A and B are shown apart, each in its own frame.
Chain A
């Protein structure tokens, strides 16, 4: 269960800076990972994914790094913009035919103009 009183982790950056959001996953059997962005009042939106046979994948202004040894995932956003302000979630999927994504806690990114 969740911890009572635990606030959402927050990362505050200046516009134009690079942002790094981290995520630890728990299941070593997970083989597919996704980052989602959730803006206020909306549902989570797919950003980028990575499979366990890769350690890095790049998209437009975003890069995901996967370290399977320590079960760690990060999302790097280059030249962060005010429109990047949102809550970011990592999700892990476990192989087995049915992809049931399990979401991490989420990190709130605040971009100051």
Chain B
């Protein structure tokens, strides 16, 4: 009974393609996030959604766009993929008054 699930787990694609990563949480949390983790394990927040409103976007290229059809889902769309987009992307969620985030298991994106 996975709390935060993201698909696919692995994604290999060519430069220039458009791809999506899906995320769903069944915890009833108010806020969902997307993080990017590079090869040096540095975790950088990309987006945060609270009740379907974008509340933070940290200098992420506009090729990346989050889409939230409802409170339980936050998908990540990436257009015109570049080599530098290769990383592990984590979805997470937290309650409004936060007792920490619950993370998904990650999607390893490789752009070739």
Residue ranges of A at the interface with B (Cβ–Cβ < 8 Å): 2, 6-8, 32, 34, 36, 38, 41-46, 49, 87, 89, 91, 93, 98-103, 105-106, 108
| B79 on interface, CB distance cutoff 8 Å | no
| B103 on interface, CB distance cutoff 8 Å | yes
Q: Please encode chain B, from 88 to 108, with 1 for each CB lying within 8 Å of some chain A CB and 0 for all others.
A: 001010101111111111100
B43 partner, pick from A32, A34, A106, beta carbons under 8 A: A106
Bound-complex Cα distance A101 to B100 (A): 8
- Chain B interface main SS type: strand
Q: Count the A-B residue pairs with Cβ separation under 8 angstroms: how many? A: 71
8 new A-B contacts, CB < 8 A, other than A41-B105, A98-B50, are A43-B104, A46-B99, A46-B102, A49-B100, A100-B33, A100-B56, A101-B98, A103-B43
| B42 x A106 contact (CB < 8 A) | yes
| A34 x B106 contact (CB < 8 A) | no
| B41 x A98 contact (CB < 8 A) | no
B40 partner, pick from A8, A32, A45, A102, beta carbons under 8 A: A8
| A6 x B40 contact (CB < 8 A) | yes
Contacts of B18 in A (CB 8 A): none
Bound-complex Cα distance A98 to B104 (A): 20
| B78 on interface, CB distance cutoff 8 Å | no
**Chain B, interface size: which category?**
20 to 34
Contacts of A32 in B (CB 8 A): 98
Bound-complex Cα distance A44 to B107 (A): 13
Contacts of B97 in A (CB 8 A): 99
Contacts of B50 in A (CB 8 A): 98
Most interface-central of A7, A42, A99, A103 (chain B CB within 10 A): A99
| A2 x B43 contact (CB < 8 A) | no
Taking the nearest CB of chain A, how far is it from the CB of B28, in angstroms?
A: 16
Residues in B44-86 with C-beta less than 8 Å from chain A: 44-45, 48, 50, 55-56
| A99 x B90 contact (CB < 8 A) | no
| A43 x B103 contact (CB < 8 A) | yes
